[in-house]
Amino acid sequence: MSNAPLPSPDPVLAPLDSMLPDLESLYKDVHSHPELSMQEKRTGALAAERLRAAGFDVTTGLGGTGVVGVLRNGEGPTVMLRADMDALPVQEATGLPYASTVTATDRTGHTVPVSHMCGHDMHVTWLAGASRLLADARPAWRGTLLAVFQPAEETAEGAKAMIADGLLERFPKPDVVLGQHVMVGPAGMVAGRPGAITSAADSLQIRLFGRGAHGSMPQASIDPVVMAAATVMRLQGIVSREVAAAEAAVVTIGALQAGTKENVIPDEALIKLNVRTFDEGVRARVLAAIERIVNAEAEGSGAPRKPEITVLDHYPLNRNDLEASEKLVAAFRAYFGAERVRETGPAPTSEDFGSFGTDWHTPSVFWFVGGTDPRVYAQAKRENRLQELPVNHSPKFAPVLHPTLRTGVEALVVAARAWMPA
């Protein structure tokens, strides 16, 4: 593959090199002070402070801890750049010198470890850097820049909360909504695709009702443990038997709970499951199949009551606008060189990013930025061990700082500049 020289850099990006040490310390600060979903007070305050210093009009506390910065710079399109800010209830095991040792109280009152194992600390830093660069180079572009730092992506609440709190009414409507996520992939690369980019996700809780009895007298029971076990096995058949090879879906049972003692048959069992799909039709079929199987297994067991199926959360399908994707890929190729811009399959992860474009009725594009040391990635690929690299949400997820930091800032600026003319 040819190693074509990069086109002459955008003047907006010229100061990036000298800015990197400051961005690195911001990243480490956010990384070692992670906050749970809807608790992003400190992170939001850092974002707001950065935006104010760069000359943005700043609104804080939107949808809880959300922050919106507006920079009006003459006639021209409005571009929204989005970063999410929340961390996860995971004990960090990266061994990094700036690893998190933070704990916090979650909604149920439990003390939990907290860490940025999805990389939203990187997203905050990227957007802080890109906002500053664009603000400092106002003669180089025209339009309105909207920098949105959203809370609670991990719980699918943040985008909705900001929209419910008046985001669409209080701020100029963007011509495009842009966002990015750090992922496993060679650092220095960006990857995306037109159409579905992240999956729809549906989490369900299923209560199966039986009849408890002494463990020695199963004939007196309707055993919810057996009912749950049969249900779990049968649910595995949905993806393998009901979804076509060219379609894709994931059904994962993440929790299966019943009983407390070896000689007591309990009254009920609980299943919690998660579904990922890339197409509305497939989604509807998979959800209907779950309901059908759950009810049939309960009936087959002679359950005294129909199972109770509750929706725990839902992330919409995140679909990249075709025209906007084309424009973005052209800008990325011109800046990064074609060999650093990859087309990827849709990711089975989910995102509430799609809500901004959908609710505002405006195109949106979401892409991935590699965070894996390129040598580590290449070696894992050679040895067919890519699946062993720590992925987002793993306690060992640790993006390499360089060039991940730089690439993410560059990608945001290049993307914004594709819409905002000189």
Q: Which residues are catalytic?
A: 84, 154
Tally Cβ neighbours within 10 Å of residue 53: 13
Nearest distance from residue 397's CB to Zn ion, in Å?
9
Strand partners, 13: none
Q: What is the DSSP string of 186-203?
A: ETT-EEE-SEEEE-EEEE
- β-pair type (66-73, 143-150): antiparallel
Q: 118 or 159, CB closer to Zn ion?
A: 118
Nearest distance from residue 86's CB to Zn ion, in Å?
8
Size of residue set near Zn ion by CB under 5 A? 1
Pick out residues in 225-284 that bind Zn ion (CB under 5 A): none
Q: Are 369 and 66 in contact (CB under 8 A)?
A: no
Q: 209 or 397, CB closer to Zn ion?
A: 397
Q: 347 or 416, CB closer to Zn ion?
A: 347
Give the 3-state secondary structure of residue 294.
helix
Q: 318 or 362, CB closer to Zn ion?
A: 318
Q: 182 or 265, CB closer to Zn ion?
A: 182
Per-residue contact track with Zn ion, 104 to 133, x per CB under 5 A? --------------x---------------
Nearest distance from residue 239's CB to Zn ion, in Å?
22
Nearest distance from residue 129's CB to Zn ion, in Å?
18
Cβ burial 238-262 (10 Å sphere, 16+ → b, else e)? bbeebbeeeebbebebeebebbeee
Give the 3-state secondary structure of residue 233.
helix
Pick out residues in 40-79 that bind Zn ion (CB under 5 A): none
Nearest distance from residue 371's CB to Zn ion, in Å?
12
87 secondary structure, DSSP code: -
Q: Which residue reads 């009702």 in tokens?
A: 209
Q: What are phi and psi of 365, to 5 degrees?
A: -140, 135
Give the 3-state secondary structure of residue 361.
coil
Nearest distance from residue 391's CB to Zn ion, in Å?
10
Nearest residue to Zn ion, by Cβ distance, number only: 118
Q: Is the peptide bond before 186 cis (omega within 30 degrees of 0)?
A: no
347 interacts with Zn ion by CB under 5 A:
no
Per-residue contact track with Zn ion, 9 to 28, x per CB under 5 A? --------------------
163 vs 37, 144, 213, 313, CA distance in Å? 16, 19, 50, 17
Which residues are near Zn ion by CB under 5 A? 118
